[in-house]
Amino acid sequence: MVNSRAPRAAWRRFRVTIRSSKRLGALVAASLFVAGACSSTGATPSPSPASQAPVSQPASQPAAASGSVAPSQAAVTCPDPATATLTLQGAGATFPAPLYQTWFETYNGAHSNIQIDYQANGSGAGIKAITEQTVDFGASDAAMKDDEVAKIPSGTKMVHIPTALGAVVVIYNLPGVTDLNLDADNVAGIFLGDIKKWNDPKIAANNPGATLPDKDILVVHRSDGSGTTNAFTTYLDTVSTDWHSKVGAGKEVNWPTGTGAQGNDGVAGGVKQTEGAVGYVELNYASQAQLTSAKLKNADGQWVAGSTDGVTAAAEAAVADFPADFRAAPIINGKGATAYPIAAYTYLLAYLDQTDADKGKTFVAFSCWALTDGQATEPDLGYAPLPAAVQQKAIDELHTFTNGGSPIWP
């Protein structure tokens, strides 16, 4: 579907490609180094990643794409990719980039003729690239809005393929403070710029016995169009009338306070390098940067840390609300005592009718593998697998892809 090669990533983007065989830790470490070079202070907090899922390395023995067995359903035999040597080009969300890197490497291990290049340049950029057909697939943590769908070429249809869920966590850099509770008013107040000190009485009230420093709070937020931002600001828009009236929700907003950074990696780097800083990232990036994240109060009034289990609980409780067009909103304040309050699906985006037969066949084959065998890798990387019902809907959706009007996977 590519009309021209996507532009080379800027300094803050990392290029996820199975040809490079880069490891996840090296990617995040490198991005933190670059982001840190732009920060003014350099204190590093004591890591407290106990609530985070450990990160595993890509599998050394890749699973074959055929005969895949979905962990939550009956056996599914996925189609084989094209036999031709080809490269799929993708771009978009940084949120799932560590997961996608592992998937691409593993899939290439089973199909050495297939290369997948992915530029993690933000959900907004991914939507723009697939709309303009400069990539074979896009990726976004925010489902496309009606006005974005209206911009795709006339006579075409865009398909959303959910691949995983993740938690958006509030990270902070306060040496010596390894346990922090923030309720909705605290989070909104901090990101509105109304709560300016870490020892503010409103924060202290939720943390009895904690020694909170008399230190300024520095907010670090995304500067690019971001699905992570969409999920986080949807939470703020839901829980705070002030936020709703002054800022709103979306992939990009006019932030009342703080410093912008590009990508989840940029926000993590900015917080890690700046004592007193606070930001928001996908769970995996907090783990990789060894940054502590706050416990948030959920809809049941429980303090919960970001975790794959908490995301799964929220997603399972909301399965009945999953829309027929797959464009699900972030799951905010999901039901259940263990549900984490900020969870979101992440999507691959592709045109229903694929103009290149080999690429179309390969994209469907890879997507099927990702929805079956690929799901098993998600928890160790800090992501939650799809609920069984959503997983089945996504697999069924792959059967609707066509090439020149003929089914790719009948």
Q: Which tokens sit at 78?
A: 């996925």
Q: How confident is the model at residue 58 (pLDDT cuts 50, 70, 90)?
A: very low
Position 75 scores a pLDDT of: 84
Q: Are residues 182 and 270 in the same domain?
A: yes
Q: Return d(Cα 195, Cα 192) in angstroms, integer.
A: 8
Count of the separate structural domains present in the chain: 2
Position 74 scores a pLDDT of: 52
Q: Are residues 37 and 89 in the same domain?
A: yes
More confident residue, 95 or 66: 95
| Model confidence, pTM | 0.83
Q: Which tokens sit at 41?
A: 């202070």
225, with CB counted inside 10 A (0-12, 13-18, 19+), is buried
Domain CATH number, residue 258: 3.40.190.10
Q: How confident is the model at residue 319 (pLDDT cuts 50, 70, 90)?
A: very high
Q: Are residues 85 and 205 in the same domain?
A: no
Q: Are residues 308 and 262 in the same domain?
A: yes
Residue 4 lies inside a defined structural domain of this protein: no
Q: Are residues 312 and 299 in the same domain?
A: yes
pLDDT in tens, 223-256: 999 999 999 999 999 999 999 999 999 999 999 9
Q: Are residues 89 and 171 in the same domain?
A: no
pLDDT in tens, 160-206: 999 999 999 999 999 999 999 999 999 999 999 999 999 999 999 99
Which residue has tokens 């031709």? 84
Residue 234 lies inside a defined structural domain of this protein: yes
Inform me whether the pLDDT recorded for 208 exceeds 80.
Answer: yes
Inform me whether the pLDDT recorded for 72 exceeds 90.
Answer: no
State the chain's mean pLDDT as an integer: 86
Q: Of the residues 332, 365, 387, which one is the last residue of a structural domain?
A: 332
Residues of the domain holding 26? 14-41+56-165+346-407
Residue 278 lies inside a defined structural domain of this protein: yes
Arithmetic mean of pLDDT, 9-31 = 37
Q: Return d(Cα 410, Cα 258) in angstroms, integer.
A: 51
pLDDT in tens, 332-375: 999 999 999 999 999 999 999 999 999 999 999 999 999 999 99
Residue 198 near residue 218 (C-beta atoms within 8 A)? no
The pair phi, psi for residue 116, each rounded to 5°, is -130, 115
Q: Are residues 22 and 124 in the same domain?
A: yes
Q: Are residues 149 and 88 in the same domain?
A: yes
Q: Are residues 295 and 268 in the same domain?
A: yes
Residue 61 lies inside a defined structural domain of this protein: yes
Inform me whether the pLDDT recorded for 36 exceeds 60.
Answer: no
Q: Are residues 159 and 210 in the same domain?
A: no
Q: Are residues 299 and 374 in the same domain?
A: no
- Listed in sequence order, the residues at least 6 apart from 142 whose beta carbon sits closer than 8 Å to its beta carbon are 123, 226, 227, 230, 231, 251, 330, 344
Q: Of the residues 332, 358, 393, which one is the last residue of a structural domain?
A: 332
Q: Are residues 191 and 288 in the same domain?
A: yes
Residue 48 lies inside a defined structural domain of this protein: no
Inform me whether the pLDDT recorded for 23 exceeds 70.
Answer: no
Residue 71 lies inside a defined structural domain of this protein: yes
